[in-house]
Structure 1
Amino acid sequence: MLPLPLNVTPKITRAIRFAVFGMSLAGLPGLALMPLPVLAQSLKTYQIPAGPLGSALTRFGVQAGVTISFDTEQTRRLSTAGLTGTYSIEEGLSRLLANSGLLAQRQGNGGFVLIAGNNESAVLLGTTSISGQSLDATTEGTGSYTTGSMSTATKLATSMRETPQSVTVITRQRMDDQNMQSLEDISTYTPGLTMRKTGGERPQFYSRGSAIDNIMIDGLPVAYDTDTLGTSTMAMFDRVEVVRGASGLMIGAGNPSGTLNLIRKRPTVEPQVSVTVGAGSWDNYRTELDASSALNSSGSIRGRVVGAFQDKDSFTDGYSSKRQLLYGITEFDLSEATTLTLGAYYNREDNPGADWSGIPTKANGTFLPISRSTRMSPKWTYWNKKNTSAFAELEHRFDNDWKLRLNTTWLRGDLDMLGTSFYRLDPAADQLNLNVGRYTYQHTQKSVDSYVSGPFILFGTTHELVLGASYRTDNTDDGPGGGFLNDPNVVLDPSNFDYHGVDKPTINYNWSRKGQVDQYSTYATTRLHLRDDLKLILGSRLDWYEYEQNTISGEYTFGADYKATREYTPYAGLIYDINDTYSVYTSWTKIFQPQANVNYYGSLLPPVTGTNREVGIKGEYFEGALNASVAYFQLTQENRAQSLDTCLPGVASCSVASGEVQTKGVDMELQGMLARGWQASAGYTYAAAKNVKGGSGRFDSDTPYNLLKLSTTYQLPGDLEKWSIGGSLRSQSSTYTSFGVTQGGYSIFDLMTGYNVNKNLKVQANLNNVFDKRYYQSISNPAGANLFGDPRNVAVTMRWSM
């Protein structure tokens, strides 16, 4: 007798469906004769994809040969990360039910019945509870420094061990423990990432020798624009998934550095509210409100709202910030198989006193003997950003475990700035000249992505497949702008700059431009289970990319039109399971970046291509609560433009696509639970980028060769269990720029302690840069864009939740 699906007909009552499902599985051959000890001890290999929990449990019961009785209302709206590997029945159920709020209770006949439980996964054997540590993708409420699954690398929901690239997740717990408030903080503490700034409010993130020029929000690519994109409030995100190396399968066009995927918080059925207040050095005050609940009695409509406000000064004289965030999201179950999600957010960052560039050095590149509080821009400067976004998602789950997903987002970034920067008429003189500019930008991005995914059977084995298409457009409307002072008579002494003594000039608005990027893409990814211990991931992507720019007024065009047609991006990854703990893998993928440079005849050069090769070993301990990896990588950028001395008449400048840069390195990481109550993250990266063709020596010398980042928290045992302590270390080797500015290696230590007053209230203190190390967060050239890192500072946070 074949098992009957739970949704045979909606007319069957809950009790009948409950009984029919139990009786149908009970009729499987041999089940009634299987002794209880055998059921508990037998191991089987499962291949159950991520998806609705009810369907996964049905599959598990069939494959395990065991009765699992439940009401479909219990599993409605619940999903699971799936199950792949060899497990006992108890272990398999524990993983499938992780963080579902359900327990599987053993019955006298050897079957199981689902009952309501807590947020941990467990299988009840009579009065005995066997608790598991399994995690799903969502990190909120887990207390963990790792995640159960992620899809940022291939769009397939896989564990970190099954992802054949170097990946990191910054969980909600870790953000809270280390008081990470911005994307700058995320990059500061993430292994393998560094940050540089071209101004106080223009952070740029780097990985493996090049800049990260695209990020993702809930899996949809967003062009990372340092001018207009606000990244100073992380309150609305559950986690940040980071992939290092080329991400062309997910992004299409970009640098082979990697990407950051910011995953939003989602609504919950159970009511939950949290209020956070914080105060810290330099009059740093912060308030957050986060509330989520079902919006009707059945729970078919759920909503969540997050609000955050921050008002702070800084260690730099006259430099302050005000940040505001309002985020709302609602989920509608249109049916048992279809969910519609609508959401929006508004983010505003006002930064009076922000500088345009940074601190200059002496003409020979040595640092000025000045205090870290020294202000190097007039008192009337500012840099304000405003972001408005709306998004929608539609997901339909078919009966055969396939699903259709449609995502779309709209994001507008506005900039209004007035700033100054320095230049030298005489490169050998220490005196500086000042220029002034005021600009308004409006950048609007739209993105649509649709795909189907699910299992298919080939040669008697179940595999997974993703098929999709996407469209992105980025419209820039920059201006009016202008107002460069460039007065050679305004000469300043950088060692004695008076920011009160520079009068605000009259702005001459003489510049504006418009531009548009269009990118059409199709893609496919499959995971083939060649054997129980061997998996092959293959992916392909085709892109049509075009950029057009129209300078309405002014002489500064900042590039030219360019495009790429039917650009092909391949992906291949092979994972071999040595045993239940360790896997070895290798992967190869590419990415492309169109360029505006032209050849001798004036034709566009082919896109710069980035190829990422990687081989490594990964380990998964405590049922995925701790992940470890060691990888060797080699990244090659080809077709980089090299200037030619002569061009065809009528061609102003020309180049040849002959430059090549190669980055080789090692990536080691450990993240997750070391022991009960002890979470940790440790990462070491060695990345050496060098010119192979068309240049000589070190490439991207602003990025350190060696990067070490450690962080940990520990909940004290026994009578001190209300206390937690922690700390972090980040250390890097020396860096230098082609302009002669050099900084030696340095290390920064942070400390944290927390106290749970009761089950609802926690007080936490973070002490950063404990030894008050004086260092530059980023270095650039003698005229500016050198910025100090934060001196020693403290932050106290109180969080009440229910």
Structure 2
Amino acid sequence: MSHPRPLHSAALRLHLNSRLLRMSFAGTLCACAIIPPTWAQQAPERAQYTIAAGPLDIALSQFAAASGVTLSFGSTQTQGLTTPGIQGRYSFDEGIARLLAHSGLQARQEGVGRYSLVKTPSDSTLELGATTISGSALGDTTEDTGSYTTGPMATATKLALSSRETPQSITVITRQRMDDQNMRSLEDVLKNTPGIAVTKAGPHRATFYSRGFTVENLMTDGLSNDLSHYLSRDMNSSPDMAIFDRVEVVRGATGLMQGSGNPAAAVNMIRKRPTATPRVTVTGSAGSWDNYRTEFDASSALNESGTLRGRVVTAYQSKDSFQDFVSAERSVFYAITEADLNEDTTFTFGASNQDANNNDSWGGLPVARDGSDLHLKRSTYLGSTWEYWDQDNTTAFSRLEYRFANNWKMLLSASKSWSQLNMLGSIPMRTWQSDFVEWGQNIGRYEYKDQQNSYDGYVSGPFSLFGRTHELVVGASRRELTFNGKGLPIDVETNTNLYRPTGIPKPDVSATPWTQHRTSQQEGTYITTRLNLSDDLKLILGGRLDWYEYDVDTRWEGKSSASSLPNKVTRHLTRYAGAIYDLDAHHSVYVSYTDIFRPQTELDAQNNALKPIEGKNYEIGLKGEYFDASLNASAAIFRIDQENRAKELNRNLCTPRGTTCYEAAGAVRSEGLELEINGSPAPGWELGAGYTYSSAKYTKDSNPDNVGRLFSTDTPRHIFKAFTRYQLPGDLNRWTIGGGLYRQNTIYKKGTNSADAPPPHAYRIEQKAYTVTDLMASYKASENVDVRLNLNNVFDTHYYQAISANTDYGNNLYGAPRNAMVTVRWEL
């Protein structure tokens, strides 16, 4: 339903000024975009080469050095391959084509004087053109590949390794799959990522889980942002996908790259990069509940030589909801410039902003006293029209890459982000004045500001030892967080009629008795090596040392709480070990151990901070790679032990006696199985599917009754996710059809109501197992225009995507009913 979105005059002026600035910047870039790149059109120069027959990797290194270019490739790409060598005068393209003849590899130009090796697809041809050898084998960029899988990725170890070469469970959600399934936010992506569960504590308060534990870091281009505190998650949890090429997910303990966190997963969003070839894409969408969206994406070389490249992406979305009164709008702006300072050095700088304004409540729908469903309509909204949840996120980032001789490189990266949340909302709450029978509202008004800085630098490259080529990464990182928040919660008796709700007048919530100032810093150094022990056996070893400091000052009416004590972790060692053995040309078996630490704020009997929680991940798996790596499959069994969890002590042991203190003695064990397949089983057919079983249980706890029980009952243990697309053959090849399936087991929360309340005292809140089915069809109307229809929840399944933690507060959130969206995409 349509309704007004209140904007104050000052905010409106800022909004319009921001839009005008963005339009002017976009216009400047678009004007530059008409300049055609010419670095790929230079006349080829011939040079004299004398390269002997022998191992391909040695010959390629000699050829690159003699040509004065950088040629990047992994040792596994050329393993066991030889070349007849070359003698005579050749252009670069002619020479490398002869060296790579019959190798199944081809060179791809990445910039001025920079090339990489990729696999040659079976249907490609070798053309000795003016730029490089043609072909479209999968590299690390997924845009325009049409694939549901990708080539090398570096999220796990900083080494550029394929899925088969990585001794952990990984998933890459590509640009093509995001487009096919109309994924517009990170929440959409992770809902469709195998091994990831999404829960919510409110309409805009998503939390991501993997292997039973909360994901506490979000990475962008390999740089982490800290989401370990729920207040930071409130501001940063759902980036728009318009600016990203892909999302890489590594499941399990990922401390080697992230430092602190839970043994859950590393989620790494990879931004779109500028292209030297001019391209413009305009996309428009319209869907159910007045859901409208536009996107504009332009990229090109910005000078005649092609050494300066730029890209700009903008998006705007406005939508209502299946819930009464609820609406939202979101704007996105992204600009990036990439400059080749010389043939060895590339500098990147960019910035992005996402502004989201949501007219929505803080909570959801309540349940009965025994936890049973009240069967409220999906359109039910128990808030008021004055409620809002507004987020603003701005990021500036830079990167400097320097390429040394012999395929060594140095990469320095930095980002700075500013996040802000302004909210005024309500949660349905049982009132004690009515013996917990009637419903009132808990109303909160809060303002949060969060600034995070992240830095990382490393060198990597090959080295020779015992007649074999190995790889090494050495680096250091630092990240900083500063948070400031203030606000006020109040309880209001409203005697809400759940079946005929009406709003209430806006209360006075101008006071800010609650304040919090929080800081954290983490510095780390790391090293990773990939040892080529034999043609079939690789060993990856890594280690990291971290220094961590945390301080929080939380106050109510100026009085500091007891939790406001600083915490420090010094020289914490994180370990990584993995071995991969190639069974044959298509299959590998692996085993790995990884760990991660999480600082604690709880105090022991002497009022010292507890030692960090440690998460240890043990994993064994089988990986397959088929059809020139266009199809990847994996199976993994894992066990995670999270140790040193805070376990409450007898209060007589605390200082002073009678206060609360803990020991680092609690433990949780998670065990499970993951099966996954991604890529192209046949021409025109793309498939992404995964099944996960994960069961996390207490093995030690301050409450002996918890031992053996599930650690989290409101996250599913069984999840199956699949989506596929197929391009019809012959005269129908303009049509592509697809569909998806999501299935999860029953989730629940159970407990005991207040003893002061009337019976029933026991409750069980439950969402039974359910299945959601989606369909997709697209039609290529012309060379430049594609039309796509997405039909979601085809059978209109009624389900809760999240359930309440207890019966006192209403946080049940319905999943979306059947809905549709039509998207038209024009590309030049």
Q: TM-score, normalised by structure 1?
A: 0.87
Decide whether the 8 Å contact of 2:94 with 2:128 is kept in 1.
no
- Per the TM alignment, residue 216 of structure 1 is displaced from its structure 2 partner at its CA by 0.4
AA in 2 matched with 1:494: L
Q: Does 1:494 align with 2:498?
A: yes
Aligned CA distance change for structure 1 residues 667 and 47 (closer, same or farther; 3 Å):
farther
The answer as to whether partners of 2:387 and 2:425 remain within 8 angstroms in 1 is yes
Instruction: Output the amino acid matched with 2:512.
Output: Y
How does 1:416-435 map onto structure 2 within 5 Å? 416-426=422-432, 429-435=436-442
Name the residue aligned to 1:721: 733
Separation in structure 1 between the aligned mates of residue 580 and residue 435 of structure 2, nearest angstrom: 57
Give the corresponding residue for 1:612.
617
- The letter of the residue matching 1:528 is L
Name 2:173's counterpart in structure 1: 170
**1:573 corresponds to:** 578
Match of 1:778 in 2: 802
Once the 2 structures are TM-superposed, how far is the Cα of residue 118 of structure 1 from its aligned partner?
12
Structure 1 position 509, deviation (Å): 1.9
- With over 3 angstroms needed to count, the CA separation of the structure-2 counterparts of 1:441 and 1:577, relative to structure 1, is same
Structure 1 residue ranges, 4+ long, deviating more than 6 angstroms after superposition: 14-17, 43-49, 57-62, 73-76, 98-102, 117-120, 130-133
Of 219-228 and 427-436, the range deviating more from structure 2: 427-436
Matched residue type, 1:293: S
Is the Cα contact below 8 Å between 2:140 and 2:151 reproduced in 1?
A: yes
Q: Distance in 1 between matches of 2:59 and 2:692?
A: 34
- Whether 1:330 aligns to 2:354 is no
Distance 1:263 1:635, change over 3 A: same
Where do 1:24-423 residues align within 5 Å?
A: 24-25=50-51, 28=52, 54-56=70-72, 63-67=82-86, 71=91, 89-90=100-101, 92-97=103-108, 122-123=125-126, 134-224=137-227, 225-229=232-236, 231-352=238-359, 354-423=360-429
Take 1:401 and 1:359, find their aligned partners in 2: how far apart are those partners?
58
Q: Does the CA contact (< 8 Å) of 1:343 and 1:390 recur in 2?
A: yes
1:37 alignment counterpart: none
Amino acid paired to 1:66: G
- Give the equivalent residue in structure 1 for 2:463: 456
Task: Report Cα offsets for 1:342-394 as digits up to 9, x if no partner.
Answer: 00011100001x11122111121112221001002121110000011100100
Q: Separation in 1 of the partners of 2:508 and 2:440? A: 14
The alignment status of 1:683 with 2:698, answered yes or no, reads no
Question: What is aligned with 1:753?
Answer: 777
- Give 3-state SS (helix, strand or coil) of 2:342's partner: coil
- What is the deviation of 1:505? 3.4
Structure 1: 5+ residue runs without aligned partners? 1-13, 32-42, 81-86, 105-113
**Alpha-carbon distance, 1:228 to partner:** 1.2
Letter in 2 for 1:788: Y
Is contact 1:57-1:96 (8 Å) kept?
no
Number of the residue aligned with 2:16:
none
Contact 1:94/1:131 (8 A) holds in 2: no
Residues 193-217 of structure 1 show CA distances to partners (whole Å, capped at 9, x for unaligned) of 1111111111111110011010100
Q: Please show how residues 617-766 of structure 1 align to structure 2 within 5 Å.
A: 617-646=622-651, 647-650=653-656, 652-694=659-701, 695-696=706-707, 697-739=709-751, 740-766=764-790
Number of aligned residue pairs: 743
Question: Is the alpha carbon distance of 1:446 and 1:525 closer, same or farther for their aligned partners in structure 2, counting shifts above 3 Å?
Answer: same
Compared with structure 1, are the counterparts of its residues 375 and 399 closer, same or farther at alpha carbon in structure 2 (3 Å cutoff)?
Answer: same
Asked whether the equivalents of residues 86 and 95 of structure 2 are also in contact (C-alpha less than 8 Å), the reply is no
Residue-by-residue CA offset, 1:720-751 (whole Å, 9 max, x unaligned) = 00000000001001111244211110000000
CA shift, 1:423, in A, is: 2.8
Supply the AA of the counterpart residue of 1:202.
R
Tell me the alpha carbon deviations over residues 88-143 of structure 1, each in whole angstroms, 9 at most, x when there is no partner: 954535354499999x9xxxxxxxxx9xx9998543599xxx99773110000000
Instruction: Note closer, same or farther for the CA distance 1:366–1:430 as it changes in structure 2 (3 Å cut).
Output: farther
Q: Is the 8 A contact 2:239 2:354 kept in 1?
A: no
Instruction: Work out whether residues 200 and 355 of structure 1, in 8 Å CA contact, stay in contact via their aligned partners in 2.
Output: yes
1:683 counterpart letter in structure 2: G
Could you tell me whether the CA contact under 8 Å between 1:407 and 1:449 is conserved in 2? yes
Which whole-Å CA distance do the structure 2 matches of 1:120 and 1:332 have between them? 34
- Tell me how far apart the structure 2 counterparts of residues 542 and 676 of structure 1 sit (CA, whole Å): 47
Q: What's 2:47 paired with?
A: 19
Taking a change above 3 Å as real, the CA distance of residues 302 and 654 of structure 1, as seen in their structure-2 partners, is: same
Q: Deviations over 1:684-732 (max 9, x none)?
A: 0000111111232111111111110110000000000000000000100
Check conservation: 1:658, 1:693, Cα contact below 8 A: yes
Partner Cα separation in structure 2 for residue 588 and residue 272 of structure 1: 44
* Inter-CA distance 19–728: structure 2 relative to 1 (3 Å threshold): same
Percent pairwise identity: 45
Give the SS at the match of 1:228: helix
Indicate the residue corresponding to 2:548 in structure 1: 545
**Is this contact kept in 2: 1:349–1:385, CA < 8 A?**
yes
* Equivalent-residue separation in structure 2 for 1:243 and 1:58 (angstroms): 20
Deviations 1:400-419 (A, max 9, x none): 21101100000010010001
Is the alpha carbon distance of 1:94 and 1:101 closer, same or farther for their aligned partners in structure 2, counting shifts above 3 Å?
A: farther
- Structure 1: how far apart are the matches of 2:335 and 2:93? 27
Find the residue that maps to 2:400 and give its secondary structure: strand
RMSD: 3.1
Counterpart contact for 1:95–1:121, Cα < 8 Å: no
Change (3 A) 1:672 1:328: same
Measure the CA separation in 2 of the matches of 1:559 and 1:351: 32
Residue 75 and residue 408 in structure 1: after superposition, are their counterparts in 2 closer, same or farther (change >3 A)?
farther
Q: CA deviation at 1:559?
A: 4.4
Q: Which secondary structure does the structure 2 equivalent of 1:785 belong to?
A: coil
Q: Which amino acid aligns with 1:299?
A: G
Query: What's the TM-score once normalised by structure 2's chain length?
Result: 0.85
